[in-house]
Structures are given as C-alpha cells and as structure tokens.
Amino acid sequence: MTGFGRRLAGKLAMGLVMVWAVATFTFFLVRALPGNPGDVQYENYILMGMSPGQAQARVNAVYGFTSHEPLPRQYGGYLWQLAQGNLGQSTSYSGVPVAHIIGSALPWTVIPVLSGLIVSFLIGVAAGVVAAVKRSSRWGGLLSLSGSVVAGVPTFVVALLLLLVFHTEWHLLPFGGTSDYEAGWNAPYVGSVIEHAVLPVCTYALLSYGGWLLAMKSSVISVLGDDFILAAELRGITPVTRARYIGRNAILPLFTVLALSFGLMFGGSIFIENTFDYPGLGSLLLKAIGTRDYTLMSGAFLLITVAVIAANILADLCYTLIDPRVRR
C-alpha cells in the first residue's frame, strides 16, 4: 500500500504542476489579448466618473492583480491570490467573487455530464460486446451501424431534435432552467430537477454512445482471437466464464478513453447547455465570453482544467487497480 501512496503523491504533484502551467498560460493569455482587459476596465471606470486612484483600486479588486505594475510582479500577485483560492471578482456580476459564481454553476454541469457518461458507457459497452460476438449476423451489423450513425451526427443536431420531439411536439419534458420550484429537499423539486435534466443527459449519452460501442467492439474482437480464449474453449469453460474473460480484458483500454471523454464532455456542455438553456458551467462560460468577463473566463477555464486533470489522475489510479500489468 505504500507503493500506492507514493504513486498517488506523485500523481498529485504532477497534477499541481499541470494546474500551475495552465494558470500561467491563462494569465499571460489574458494579458496578451488585444485591449488589455484591465486597461479597458480602467478606462470604463474613468468614463463612469471615478478618480484614477478609485478606478485603479477597483481594477485591482476585480482582477486580483495590479495592472500598472511590472508583469512579473503582477504574475506573482495573481499566483498568490490563486493559492488562497481567490479567483478574483466577476466584472459582469458586479463584484461577486468568481469562485462563488462558478461554485453555484458547477453541479449543474458535473451531475448531468457524469450521469450521461455513465449511462452511455454502460449501454455502449454492452452493445459493443453484442456487436462483436454477433458481428456476422444481421443484428450485429445493425448495432454497429447504429453506433456509426449516432457518432456521426453533430451534437447540436441531436440536442435540437430531442428538444423538438420531446418538448415542442409531445410536451413530455420541460425546457429551460434546472427546476420549476424553489430549491429544497422535497419531492416536487427533486422530480422537477430530474425532468429538466433528462434531455441534457440523453444528449450527452447519445453524444458518446457510438464511440463506446465501436471502441468496445474492436477491443472485444481483438481479445476473441487471443490464444488464451481458444485454450479456455478447449478446456470446456462455460459461456459465462468465457464472457467474463473477454469482458475483463477488452474493457481495459476503454478506461483511459473514459477519463479523456470526461474532459471532452465539458467542452460539449457549451453547446448542450446553451441549447437547453441549462445554467451550468458551459452556458456560464458562453455568457462570460459574450460580456468580456475575463476573470470569470479564466476561472472557468482553470476549473475545467482541474477537473480534467483530476479525472485523469483518478483513471490512472483505477488502472493500477484493474490491470495487473500496470502495477509494479
């Protein structure tokens, strides 16, 4: 177990370095944008009638760094604030800390993305096994075709189609927001939250279903031809044991993809949340871009980075648990 602890510590240190790299990158990216946002904001405050001193103080408070100081010192100040968990203040939400805004949007992205991913993973992997084993029959062919077709349709088309059918035409599911009721642990609220989440979750699931199916199919086919499966057939094992051998070995490479797609789903959330008017991180990011709210943007980017890095660390650790070849 000490080996596992050392591995974990190593991964965490590596993750921290990556977060630092991304934070640095976003910091300099914001600085390099045409019309330094700090300066633009400073000019705005001056135009609003503030004195230069007041305006400078406001900008300092909002961006977390002093825009007229030399670059290295600004960078140091930004990192210092970041280390304390201070992401600065939003400009469009007048003075609300960015960490607070992101914190309230986060669950509305993480929960649908995660449930969509899990649903599509389970269904896609199961369908992939069937498609591989029955690949020469008509049903296997149809399954594979369904995977290719679904994987080929763009996200926004899927989202709009679902919306059209289930909301506009059949009036089965609601649209917009996360719930029709005040927040609280009661049945109508929770029910409404689930109703509102169904369409985004389905879109996430459809988005990645085809990928899982095709990846699992090819993985299973390659394991099917392995000598140890043939040898097991010679010894006369039961079909259930055979399926277990195949599944266990075929699913291994898919775990890496699972972690990577967690990050990709965050990217997809921009389209999906926008289409369903769902107030998650994606629509927050889109709004921030629209209002040139740079602190909110860099905060959101940073959070997405951290989430992806964390997912990868988790996947790496899971890998050592499920694949004996990775263990040392």
Partner 1 sequence: MIQARGITRTYQTHGAFTGAHAVPALRGVDFTLPDGGAVSFIGESGCGKTTLGKILTGLETFDGGELVVDGVELSGLSARARAKYFRRIQMIHQDPYSALNPTRTVEATLGDPLRMRAKEIGGDPGKWRERAAELLTLVGLEPAAVLPKYPHQLSGGQRQRVVIARALTVDPEVLIADEAVSMIDVSMRLGILSLLRDLRTRLGISLVFITHDVATARYVGDGGELHVIYRGEVVERGLTDDVILTPVHPYTQCLLSAVPIMRGLEEPGPDRMAPIRALDERTATPGCLFEPRCPFATQECALTHPTLVPLGGDGAGVGSAAVDVGDLGDGAHVHACLHPAARRVVGVEIGAASA
Among the listed ranges 71-79, 161-169, 179-187, 233-241, the one in contact with partner 1 (CB under 8 A) is 233-241
**For partner 1, the closer CB: 100 or 327:** 327
The answer to whether 263 touches 251, Cβ cutoff 8 Å, is no
Tally Cβ neighbours within 10 Å of residue 51: 10
Quickly list DSSP for 59-96: HHHHHSS-TTS-HHHHHHHHHHHHHTT---B-TTTTT-
Q: What Å distances lie between residue 21 and 26, 27, 41, 79, 86, CA to CA?
A: 9, 10, 26, 11, 17
What's the start-to-end Cα distance of the chain, in Å?
11
Q: Which is nearer to partner 1, 114 or 229 (CB)?
A: 229
219 touches partner 1 by CB under 8 A: no
Which segment (199-207, 234-242, 253-261, 263-271) binds partner 1 by CB under 8 A? 234-242
As a whole number of angstroms, the distance between CA 101 and CA 5 comes to 34
234 binds partner 1 (CB under 8 A): yes
Q: How far is the CB of 239 from partner 1 (least distance, A)?
A: 13
Task: State the nearest-atom distance from the C-beta of 234 to partner 1, in Å.
Answer: 6
- For residue 102, the Cα-to-chain-centroid distance in whole angstroms is 14
Q: Is 226 one of the binding residues for partner 1 (CB under 8 A)?
A: yes
Q: Check residue 80 for interaction with partner 1 (CB under 8 A).
A: no
Figure out which of the listed residues 233, 267, 317, 321 binds partner 1, where binding follows CB under 8 A.
Answer: 233
- Look up tokens 């694949």; give the residue: 323
Q: Is 235 in the site for partner 1 (CB under 8 A)?
A: yes
Q: Is 239 a residue that touches partner 1 (CB under 8 A)?
A: no
Residue 268's nearest CA partner among 194, 196, 205 is 205
Q: Does 231 bind partner 1 (CB under 8 A)?
A: yes
Give CA–CA dist 222/235, Å, rounded.
21
Mark residues 248-287: x for contact with partner 1 by CB under 8 A, - for none. xx--x-----------------------------------
Using CB under 8 A as the binding rule, whether residue 109 contacts partner 1 is answered as: no
Give me the residues that bind partner 1 (CB under 8 A), please: 226-228, 230-237, 241, 245, 248-249, 252, 322-325
